[in-house]
Structure 1
Amino acid sequence: MSVSTASDPPASDPRASDPKAAAAEARYAEATQLQLTWWRFRRHKLAVVSLFVIALFYGIAIFADFLAASDPHATDARRSFIPPQGIHLFDENGFNPHVYGLRGVRNPRTFQLSYSPDPARKLPVRLFTRGYTYNLLGLIETDIHLFGIEGGRPGEGIFLLGTDQLGRDLYSRMMVATRVSLSIGLAGVTLSLFLGVLLGGISGLYGGWVDLLIQRLIELLRSVPTIPLWMGLAAALPRTWSVIEVYFAITIIISLIGWTDLARVVRGRFLALREEDFVVAAELSGASQGRIIFRHMLPSFASHVIAATSLALPAMIISETSLSFLGLGLRPPAVSWGILLQDAQNIQVLAGAPWLLSAAVPVTLVILAFNFLGDGLRDAADPYG
């Protein structure tokens, strides 16, 4: 008769007959919190797709000038309100990417030019053409662009999304606007993340009058209506400031308002963790408060901070777009999604040029992608999920 020992697995334990299950269990038992979060996140298909969409938009932001077909700031009255052009890949000679030339007819009543394609004139579309000069990645001066046309009369070009009232190419302007709007959101979240983690951590770790003061400050900021606060702060910016100065000012304004939600999340986590043994041990060993916050407590719920950050990014982007759309944010010659949408405020202009609303498409896609990504990260970071 055999005697079972405590080290022997029960006969009904599937690990005894399935080494793969035992290896998988050991793998999960030894994984870090970030690894577990990533494995759960990969099962959220919509969040993974959203991650690729966001990566695509940030890739566009990095190489905006390279992707632009023409100078986004160049104006030309001869090409005002040109409708979007399509690229034709084939002709009677086979594969030959081209766009048709344009012919304009002036309306005898409105005296405005209306454009129509001229099939008799084919402008070949080529890759890696030369255009306006820019600095690639801010370092390398070049004039190479992804695509463009060869030949053409003065004022002609390739206008995938049409032109605005001043004859500026909307596609090229949207590429540059993507860089500005997404960089403001990223810079704003970075600053608000620092403020939220620092003040929320101090509030939850110290408690007492420090916690009371910080929480009353948060309630004060959250009680002020957002739009009037933006209007007051933006109106205080001098009109003589340059585009760069206004850019940084808007970033700071949005960040000073957007850190409160994250601070409360961090405070709640710190209140739950400050009595844990590892925090008490760090205090007894003489660790400073900054080291306890950033080296011991914060990494224990870093996945929650990442999820909160991904949900804060779309709010930052909407804030900048709303301010610029209302004329309180960035001002021309800066280009952002909000500034592009300013042209769609006039219903009469919009009726004749509906393509001016095309800037709303990337705004919608990015906001949805960030929200789906945040939902996926939040579910993946939940230890009880």
Structure 2
Amino acid sequence: MPALPPPGAPLAHYVATGPFDPNAMEPMTRQQERVHLASQLTLMWWKFKRHRLALASGIFLAVLYASILICEFLAPYNYQERHIDFIRSPPQAIHLFHEGSFVGPFTYGLNYQLDMNTLRRTYSEDTARIYPVRFFCRGDSYQFWGLIEGNVHLMCPGEGGTLFLLGTDRLGRDMLSRLIYGARISLTIGLIGIAVSFSLGVVIGGLAGYYGGLFDLVVQRAIEVVQSLPHIPLWLALSSIMPPSWSPILVYFGITVILGLMDWTGLARAVRSKLLSLREDDYVVAAQLMGARTPRIVFRHLVPGFMSHLIAMATIAIPSMILGETALSFLGLGLRPPITSWGVMLNEAQNINIVVLYPWLILPVVPVIVVILAFNFLGDGLRDAADPYR
């Protein structure tokens, strides 16, 4: 039979050899000790890494959110810069070879012609004009985060050339630059909106589930009233009452608050149901007997018990808010120019005839779809990693 641990040895490094003999202990292996001494966050990270798709989605979203910090540098042009000679120009290709010789990344010049039968603008490459793409170069001026003047870009067109990798819109503005700038608004509106809705949902739902009684009854009736209202017409009504004189920043925060106020009910109901089942557990009673206050019991002991459920709801709610902003801006009742977002860009693709002639105007829908899928995959991985029963 294995010997007992030597006097003074930490018991955390020993494991019992059987359930009926707690005095029979043997040293842990390196793998057992690593798992036994790991924190909860470390265990979650180990489980999350095994979900390859969720890990890739998390890295993609992290890079995307990091890019919005330097979108002025990443965009080839200022998002308001107009090129009146290249209205609705198609996406340009970057070439490496010219007539069999390696030149490096470059674009050809564009020739413009108007088709009098369809009134469609047509552009063709002029292979006689070569414009090398410049990197870490000086181009259109901008204000970095509206504070610092700058003009350095990651990529710039050659002198006298153009660099429209995703084409231009009806005013001759570069689609790629507007897509990069629009990511800052469309992505952050989901994070701020989820902060508003989670604060309301966790606090109101947590107190209703913990106290019950009359307070719970009033909260449930309020949730039913809010959920009975159709969301899209209510969004439209709330958006339409915002004064036209508001600045783009005020409109941005107004849309964020509207999205947050409409999305807290589902979370509040889920938190309430969880707390109703957990508030009678022994550890809650022990905390009450020790004199712990209600906020500490709810947010320190009860809420972490179903964190996996909250994470899953958060990763689902963020895409829904991005879609909500996109839908409002698409209908012309959300964000307004000169501010730009993916929804504002899609507002120009309402006319199906225009989309048929210039299909690249629908390209802003691609990042919306990719970001929503990435959030859903990330949510699956985080939910599995935070689930204590897996």
In the alignment, the residues of structure 2 paired with residue 169 and residue 287 of structure 1 have an alpha-carbon distance, to the nearest angstrom, of 58
Are residue 202 (structure 1) and residue 207 (structure 2) matched?
yes
Alignment of 1:194-343 (within 5 A): 194-343=199-348
TM-score by length of 1: 0.89
CA contact (8 A) 2:201 2:271 kept: yes
Match among 61, 67, 70 for residue 60 of structure 1? 67
Match among 78, 94, 99 for residue 87 of structure 1? 94
Deviates more, 1:59-68 or 1:358-367: 59-68
Are residue 192 (structure 1) and residue 197 (structure 2) matched?
yes
Note the residue ranges of structure 1 that are not aligned, 5 or more in a row: 11-15
Deviates more, 1:266-275 or 1:231-240: 266-275
In the alignment, the residues of structure 2 paired with residue 271 and residue 379 of structure 1 have an alpha-carbon distance, to the nearest angstrom, of 23
In the alignment, the residues of structure 2 paired with residue 113 and residue 322 of structure 1 have an alpha-carbon distance, to the nearest angstrom, of 29
Shift of 1:260: 1.5
Match of 1:36 in 2: 43
Alignment of 1:34-183 (within 5 A): 34-91=41-98, 94-110=102-118, 112-136=120-144, 140-152=148-160, 156-183=161-188
The C-alpha deviation readout for 1:310-367, integer Å capped at 9, x for no partner, is 1211111111111111112111222111111111111111111001111111011001
The C-alpha deviation readout for 1:85-123, integer Å capped at 9, x for no partner, is 011123355342210111112223455532111110111
Q: RMSD of the TM alignment (CA)?
A: 2.4
CA contact (8 A) 1:37 1:303 kept: no
The C-alpha deviation readout for 1:111-141, integer Å capped at 9, x for no partner, is 5532111110111101011123334456543
In the alignment, the residues of structure 2 paired with residue 106 and residue 241 of structure 1 have an alpha-carbon distance, to the nearest angstrom, of 40
Shift of 1:275: 2.3
CA gap of 1:124–1:19, structure 2 versus 1, over 3 A, is farther
**Number of corresponding residues:** 373
Are residue 350 (structure 1) and residue 350 (structure 2) matched?
no
The C-alpha deviation readout for 1:181-218, integer Å capped at 9, x for no partner, is 00101110111111111111111111111111111111
Secondary structure in 2 matching 1:299:
helix
- Corresponding letter in the other structure for 2:282: D
Secondary structure in 2 matching 1:272:
helix
Secondary structure in 2 matching 1:343:
helix
CA contact (8 A) 1:104 1:115 kept: yes
CA contact (8 A) 2:78 2:142 kept: no
- Corresponding letter in the other structure for 1:43: R
Shift of 1:174: 0.3
Deviates more, 1:47-56 or 1:355-364: 47-56
Shift of 1:252: 0.2
**% identity of equivalent residues:** 49
- Corresponding letter in the other structure for 1:124: P
Deviates more, 1:302-311 or 1:106-115: 106-115
Secondary structure in 2 matching 1:104:
strand
Note the residue ranges of structure 2 that are not aligned, 5 or more in a row: 5-14, 19-23
- Corresponding letter in the other structure for 2:209: G
In the alignment, the residues of structure 1 paired with residue 377 and residue 336 of structure 2 have an alpha-carbon distance, to the nearest angstrom, of 31
Deviates more, 1:181-190 or 1:43-52: 43-52
TM-score by length of 2: 0.88
Higher relative contact order structure (alpha carbons within 8 Å, sequence separation ≥ 6): 1
Secondary structure in 2 matching 1:238:
coil
Secondary structure in 1 matching 2:192:
helix
- Corresponding letter in the other structure for 2:93: G
